[in-house]
Structure 1
Amino acid sequence: MKQLTIVLFLIVISCKNEQKVQNEKEMDSDTQTIAKTENGIDKSVYEMWNDYVESNPEFKDQEIPESDFFHNNRNDANRLAELTLKGKKKASSGLLSLYKQYKVDLPKVGTKQILTDFDGRAQAIIENTRVDTIPFNEISKEYAEMDMGTDTQPLEKWKKAHWDFFESFLKENGKQPTEEMLVVCVRFKTIWPKKQ
């Protein structure tokens, strides 16, 4: 998931300044933020991993997975985390060209990630179950439904959302999206949801 995290980070960079201002407005004080986190990571991330390891001692020697959220804004990040918790979102997508541009390894089957909300609070532990590289114009309805978390026009929604998202990022690098651009399609399963 390190690779996915880096790619998502690169995408988030484009909105970094806007998010920083928004985050500063939403924080009551720096002191509260420091109290809630350990090494800049929300304590809920450590707590979730500890709960998981306690119930699955075979992972006690494994490093805590990286934590991150989906998308690049609060509404979408929180909505996608909720869809993941409900078992509707089971996939994520990134551009192969970005992995290559930033010399990041592709995601691997079996890699775990602690999915957070936009504020970094742990929502679930997910594990990659399949990784494929597919041209944009060959994405299936089945995959789109898994990524979008909906069965209402999933392919149309996937294409519109991802074309717009990829286009905005590629434009910053002087590039244009194409129907043949390769998409890294990561399927995952939720292996540990947050306690309700």
Structure 2
Amino acid sequence: MRQISIFLFLILVGCKSETKNKSEIETDNQSEMTTETEDGIDKSVSEMWNDFTKANTEFKNDEIPESDFFHNNEKEANRLAELTLTGKKRASSGLNKLYQQYNADLPTVGTKQIVTDFNGRAIAIIENVSVDTIPFNKISKEYAELDMGTNTEPLEKWKKAHWDFFESFLKESGEKPTEEMLIVAVEFKRIWPKNE
């Protein structure tokens, strides 16, 4: 579970050109967030976890999971958080090479995460239900629909968004994306708040 924040940052859906690194985001938000705890995590994260464990006592002794937002800009992070909350977004994609580069463990089935908006406010708790490594050119339309949260040209949108994002990231190390690059495809379910 090491370096999970790096990979949540790299998970992409509908990539835009505006970027901020994590320390800039945290610095920008320090003065705006009045509900922050001393360790820099919004209180809503621990409050959501407490609500979840009160309703699901079998998890009361579990550590609070990692919390982070999807994407790298406010508009997309908030949009993806909303899609996760409504159950339309049920997957995320990372580049396997980045896990190797950062010597980080791949996601695992059963791992929980608290999804936040761009400002760190808790939106939902998700749990990984499937983790697979798939070549870029073998991603299915069904998986793309889960990741993109739309059924309108999901595979075309997924390929363009992820290709562009991975291309810009790989450029830093002098590499280029390929059709065969391995994608860590994670499917998840929203476990909190409960479905009505």
Normalised to the residue count of structure 1, the TM-score between the two structures is 0.88
Q: Percent identity?
A: 69
| Aligned counterparts of 1:147 and 1:121: Cα–Cα separation in 2 | 22
* Cα shift at 1:193: 2.5
- Which residue of structure 1 aligns with residue 98 of structure 2? 98
* Cα shift at 1:21: 7.6
1:36 equivalent in alignment to 2:35:
yes
Corresponding residue SS for 1:41: coil
1:47 equivalent in alignment to 2:47:
yes
Verify the 8 A CA contact 1:69 1:77 in the aligned structure 2. Answer: yes
1:146-195 deviation per Cα after TM superposition (whole angstroms, max 9, x unaligned): 0000000000000000001111111112110000000000000000029x
Return closer, same or farther for 1:21/1:131 CA change in 2, 3 Å cut-off: closer
* Cα shift at 1:36: 1.5
Verify the 8 A CA contact 1:136 1:182 in the aligned structure 2. Answer: yes
Return closer, same or farther for 1:2/1:82 CA change in 2, 3 Å cut-off: farther
Verify the 8 A CA contact 1:6 1:104 in the aligned structure 2. Answer: no
Listed as ranges, the gaps of 5+ residues in structure 1 are none
| Aligned counterparts of 1:23 and 1:76: Cα–Cα separation in 2 | 19
| Aligned counterparts of 2:21 and 2:94: Cα–Cα separation in 1 | 22
Return closer, same or farther for 1:181/1:95 CA change in 2, 3 Å cut-off: same
| Aligned counterparts of 1:134 and 1:19: Cα–Cα separation in 2 | 31
Return closer, same or farther for 1:17/1:48 CA change in 2, 3 Å cut-off: closer
1:156 equivalent in alignment to 2:156:
yes
Residues 1-196 of structure 1: pairs in structure 2 closer than 5 A: 2-9=2-9, 15-16=19-20, 20=24, 24=28, 30=31, 33=33, 35-38=34-37, 39-193=39-193
Return closer, same or farther for 1:107/1:163 CA change in 2, 3 Å cut-off: same
Normalised to the residue count of structure 2, the TM-score between the two structures is 0.88
Give the aligned CA root-mean-square deviation in angstroms.
2.6
* Cα shift at 1:3: 4.7
Corresponding residue SS for 2:127: strand
| Aligned counterparts of 1:191 and 1:9: Cα–Cα separation in 2 | 21
* Cα shift at 1:5: 2.4
Return closer, same or farther for 1:37/1:22 CA change in 2, 3 Å cut-off: closer
Return closer, same or farther for 1:17/1:58 CA change in 2, 3 Å cut-off: closer
Listed as ranges, the gaps of 5+ residues in structure 2 are 13-17
Corresponding residue SS for 1:71: coil
1:98-145 deviation per Cα after TM superposition (whole angstroms, max 9, x unaligned): 000100000000000000000000000000000000000000000000
Aligned length: 189
Which is richer in helix? Answer: 1
